[in-house]
Amino acid sequence: MSRMVEALAEKESVQRAHVQPTFEALGLHSHLVKAIRAAFPKVEFPTATQIQLIPAIHNKKDIILQDETGSGKTFGLVLASLNKPRLTYSDYDVPSITTIFLVPHRDLAFQIRHWIQKITECSSTTPPRLDQVAQVLVRDGQMHLQSGLEQLLKTPPHVLIATPASLLEVLQKQDDIIDFSRVSAVVVDEVDDLIETIPDTKTALVEKIRKRIARHPGPTRQLLDIIYSKRKRFTAKNREEFVDEPYQTPQLILSSATIRRHLKEYFFGESGIVKGDVVKVRGTVLPLHVKEMLATSVLHTDISHHVLVVSDKTIENLAGAAEAPDREDVLKPSPDEEPAPTPVKTEAELERELGFSMTPSPFNQNSLEAVAAAFALYVPSVALLVIPGATSIYRAVYDLRALGVNAYNVDMLAEHKGRLHLLSGDATRFKSNPTLFVASVAAIRGLDLPELQHVFILGTLGLEGTDITSRTLDTYIHVAGRVGRFGKKGRVISIIDGEQNDQQEVKRMDKILKRLGIQPMKLKEFS
């Protein structure tokens, strides 16, 4: 670099530092900031969301955090949580849990732990053991809840990351395992996924959903009722009775890109959990309306949306799709990289495959072929395929492999099934054999694979139910939001069966995009 270029770069970084607060200025300890920079060299300055969020967390008031997908909400929550001081249970001199993250699925839990692990490893020459800093509690084939419970008792971590169902189950086994009056904060990440609410209107559909929710309130509601039982008992009228009672409950942080009015009303009203002052941290998002024309504001402009309609004979762009400009910015495959290692199959996997080879597939093979074709055309290193929840991920993987696609189910604990892709850079050396991760909608909220530029959606049924509700639209926003993160370009390609039920699927997709105000674009390689 010439001296002049160096001087200019230095000037720019000085100017930036003047306008943009540093993590230290927001209250993060300098040793933590050092570890963050060492673990994530690309993280230099806080994002706009983090600038508001980190000081708000230190203020201890409840927080509603809403900003677009990929704006750094979860990452900011992790940093602020690691910065919190640890309390101890004075009776036993054992450290208590400082922050509990409630997340909708195991892979997000492991992603968060992986981030914490990276930071911990960079925190000193003799870093603390990971289980002292972060533990995951999920219902998982590989991890028995009993062992999670024992681990929690033996070494309470600074940060506990759990799915609500597993934490509830552990509390039902041993209700005093966590003293919630000692917990500093409870983060409900992807809160609208964990707590379903609906608008207060009187349509038959809304009534049906309301009854279902009343019958099955779900583990998150039950868990928050336990953690915040003291708040629930406290009203303006009985205030006096509680004067002498310690009224200490954890700071509650509700986070998502899509928090609708009816969810806030649930927290402020019906639930009796949120009282008093709440800090609202909002980014650029505009309110989500029942008529969704503003919803694109929560989708990045650098994501383009495409729909391929598939029949026995053709793969076509959706009628009415606009001509797309050339997308040089979306990476093209680069053939000369190192080949990816082929993992050895387990006995269970081989047995499962044998079973599949003898049974007909539930998937429309034309649609899977369209996925395989678009994947081969566009994907440089990694893509995500979202399939309907009622179908088998393993079967989809098997069928796609038969079509020559390097497909895997997402598993953030396994190197080649996601872990390698959690941090940008690690997997780019495997470009010659791009990977397609297959997941259902239930397992993609909050996932962050920095290289991801393509998401495929197989049919509309994965987008929550057969009716189009606000949840369907929010689900599309979250699926699309896996790409276009942090200034990267992205494509969302929906694959729709054009021969099903008088084009019902095509009409449904068209309606979803219209309600979201999205103009689909043509993929010029298809007719």
Ligand X SMILES: Nc1ncnc2c1ncn2[C@@H]1O[C@H](COP(=O)(O)OP(=O)(O)OP(=O)(O)O)[C@@H](O)[C@H]1O
Which residue among 28, 35, 46, 185 contacts ligand X (CB under 6 A)? Answer: 46
Q: Which stretch binds ligand X (CB under 6 A): 41-49, 197-205, 288-296, 375-383?
A: 41-49
Which residue among 52, 74, 392, 460 contacts ligand X (CB under 6 A)? Answer: 74
- Where is 159: in which H helix or E strand? strand 159-162
Which residue among 11, 42, 212, 524 contacts ligand X (CB under 6 A)? Answer: 42
Which residue among 39, 70, 453, 492 contacts ligand X (CB under 6 A)? Answer: 70
Contact status: 260 vs ligand X (CB under 6 A) = no
Residue 353: count of CB within 10 angstroms of its CB: 16
Contact status: 164 vs ligand X (CB under 6 A) = no
Which residue among 35, 51, 66, 72 contacts ligand X (CB under 6 A)? Answer: 72
Q: Which of residues 480-519 bind ligand X (CB under 6 A)?
A: 481, 485-486
DSSP 251-280: EEEEEES---HHHHHHHHTTT----S-EEE
| Nearest to ligand X of 73, 305 (CB atom) | 73
Contact status: 75 vs ligand X (CB under 6 A) = yes
Distance CA 281, CA 147 (A): 37
Closest distance of CB 216 from ligand X, Å:
25
Contact status: 71 vs ligand X (CB under 6 A) = yes
Contact status: 442 vs ligand X (CB under 6 A) = no
Contact status: 462 vs ligand X (CB under 6 A) = no
Distance CA 81, CA 396 (A): 38
Contact status: 48 vs ligand X (CB under 6 A) = no
Q: Is-contact 427 406, C-beta < 8 A?
A: no
| Nearest to ligand X of 187, 198 (CB atom) | 187
Where are the strands (E) in 126-239, listed by range?
A: 134-137, 159-162, 185-189
Token couple for 120: 């911990």
Q: Is-contact 508 516, C-beta < 8 A?
A: no
Contact status: 448 vs ligand X (CB under 6 A) = yes
Question: 502 — phi, psi (to 5°)?
Answer: 55, 45
DSSP 342-368: PPPPPHHHHHHHHHHHTS--SS-HHHH
Q: Is-contact 69 257, C-beta < 8 A?
A: yes
Q: Which stretch binds ligand X (CB under 6 A): 63-71, 151-159, 396-404, 493-501?
A: 63-71
Please give the single-letter amino acid code of residue 486.
F
Contact status: 213 vs ligand X (CB under 6 A) = no
Contact status: 43 vs ligand X (CB under 6 A) = yes
The residue behind tokens 């009854």 is 211
**Positions in the binding site for ligand X (CB under 6 A):** 40, 42-43, 46-47, 50, 69-75, 257, 446, 448, 450, 481, 485-486
